[in-house]
Structure 1
């Protein structure tokens, strides 16, 4: 009878050790995923303000407002750093903003960052038909669909570069009877780390 008790007790110790190893591995996997999985960013606002438009040329200002989620600043984006963005029309790069400094992010709080760029007639004209198609969208459809990409200073341990994000297309709709101001229409597009 005493011989039966000892193997049973050993069995329980082995089961307990295996359980602890499995639980430890699960926690390590979760921690690893949290470190390597960069949270998404949302585009909360995008404006396209036309200054001059003809049949073949236009100049405009592009303003982008993104929402940085609360779990991003403490591990990924620096609380002080740079933001840069590119605007695309059907995979053609219209403009890339200069690096714009930000210095007011706070830990554990969702916040917004703005980036702006001026688009000249020369920028639009480089695309040939691209400029004509944008103008056609403005004049006939009253809306334009743009893609965008973001670059933010990377603050992960051991990293010195930038976090790159590609964003879902954003539909901009022009105000009634105006060809000068278009704003984001519909759901907030998501920007995913690449």
Structure 2
């Protein structure tokens, strides 16, 4: 507001005010306007910094630290026509170790609850583990959790089991996908369980004995993102 406009307005409202009083009043008004501008700028800056520093939990990733695969091939009737092509599996076990970021612990994932995992081959679910309980997680701190699942020969029979064994034979490696299910502590949801979908893990076989087959994940650690 210009000095002339302010003085004209004050004269209309208060015709008895002297020029000195009008000048003093203008200083007060200018100070108030300056203070309000500072407050507004501070609030805008605080809102920006707060939104930038607050993580979007839907974008936070759980990391697969390790995945181990152990299988027992069926060595009975080795000379059968069927097993001249591949040895079917009697059983298989997956052992998974995951790292949960601290921002999720106590916010999205409860400090005490259950974890469950499914293991997939070419998007086909092979087996889902039983519920594994965990407790006494530390609020806001990264956590390591383990979960295991065992598949029977029936779970691995047919084309899927054959493809897995052919991959082992031809490439000495195999890829498994996984899904995680953890106790949900988000206030805005009532599902009870939050699920994460994980990238495929590449496993390389370090033991191909007649009695046991073992493989361990290698390369980059697969990540798991929330699945709504």
Instruction: Please report the TM-score for the alignment, with normalisation by the length of structure 2.
Output: 0.74
5+ residue gaps, structure 2: 4-22, 75-82
Question: What is the CA deviation profile of residues 2-34 of structure 1, one whole-angstrom value per residue up to 9, with x for unaligned ones?
Answer: 276355334413422432442354366457x53
Q: What corresponds to 1:50 in structure 2?
A: 71
Q: What corresponds to 2:77 in structure 1?
A: none
Q: Pick one of 163, 188, 195 that aligns with 1:164.
A: 195
Q: What corresponds to 2:135 in structure 1?
A: 103
1:112 to 2:144 alignment = yes
| Contact kept in structure 2, 1:56 and 1:131, CA below 8 Å | no
Question: What is the CA deviation profile of residues 99-152 of structure 1, one whole-angstrom value per residue up to 9, with x for unaligned ones?
Answer: 111124222332211111111111112xx3222111101112110001100000
Within a 5 Å distance, the mapping from 1:18-57 to structure 2 comes to 18-26=40-48, 29-30=51-52, 34=55, 36-37=57-58, 39-53=60-74, 55=86, 57=88
Q: What corresponds to 1:73 in structure 2?
A: 105
For residue 55 of structure 2, give the secondary structure of its aligned residue in structure 1.
helix
Q: What corresponds to 1:142 in structure 2?
A: 172
Distance 2:66 2:114 in 1: 19
Q: Pick one of 204, 218, 224 that aligns with 1:173.
A: 204
Q: CA RMSD, aligned part only?
A: 2.5
> After TM superposition, what 4+ stretches of structure 1 lie above 4 angstroms from structure 2?
176-179
* Number of residues of Structure 1 aligned to a counterpart in Structure 2: 191
Distance 2:124 2:110 in 1: 30
Select the structure of larger CA radius of gyration.
2
Q: Pick one of 93, 106, 110 that aligns with 1:61.
A: 93
5+ residue gaps, structure 1: none
